[in-house]
A and B are shown apart, each in its own frame.
Chain A
Amino acid sequence: MKEKDFLLQIRKTAHLARLYLTSEEEELYAKQLQDVLNYFAKLQELNTSDVEPMAHVLPLSNIWREDEVSESMNQEDVFKNAPDLEENCFKIPRIMKRDEE
């Protein structure tokens, strides 16, 4: 993929992953990841038309539990690591950007 296109891909992907990257990081990752992706191209050599994808390592199935209520976490533990609280809820900044109003 062309360098500039790939840089745009990185930007798009960083947004999907909600990661802020500096422009240096963008360029560095673009180059490093391009190398890695080229290495992955090897995989296309293998014929896997008859192979099922592995979804689970062990052949387990129907692992479930009874519908019985267990004690919930005590309030102290719930909020112990909370970055910002108000009225026993987790407080977060406004969801919409100001210029979107």
Chain B
Amino acid sequence: MEDVQVVAMLVRRCIAGDSAAWEEIVQTYHRRIYNICYRFAGSGDDAQDLTQEVFIKMYRTLSSYDPTKGAFVTWVTTITRNLLVDHFRKTKQDRLTDSIDTAASEHEDAQPLSEQIPDQSVPPDAQVRSREVGETVHAALARLSPELREAVILRDLQDLDYREIATVLKVPEGTVKSRINRGRAELARLLQRTYRQVM
């Protein structure tokens, strides 16, 4: 996934104050971090803010990265996850508690989820349908509990292996697997329920 030597050299250059090396790190990892934040927070604006916060934290704590303890991507993902958990706790009171029929992100044009389900009688354009299905799954993902959500995001969307996820989440591998299984099953149940309501 990443050349350890190259990343270690980049980090050393960053610590020495080389801003070009820092930009290279930002260019390499911003997409990944943004996607984790977007899938976890559910909102593009929140994801953008959180991604910036992750990089600010990375920039300040870059000297604490130890290449012998793990891959850089694991370190970055751990920072991201910790920040997302903090964000989740802070916004607990403000969070929407309405049903899955509520719009979950600005990408959905403020339509209820049930209205985003593709109409089977009139087949729309495949690309549009795919986008709508994706938004439906994204909305369902936002309804999972944070423990299950972060596990399935790291496994199925970020393709981390179980050991890396266990390192990031600071839980045993068995717990990681259990959470992933429960998360996937819960997501499928939510989507089945949604489609059943529409049909």
To the question of whether A and B form a pair in one complex, the answer is: no
Interface of B toward A, CB cutoff 8 Å: none
Interface of A toward B, CB cutoff 8 Å: none
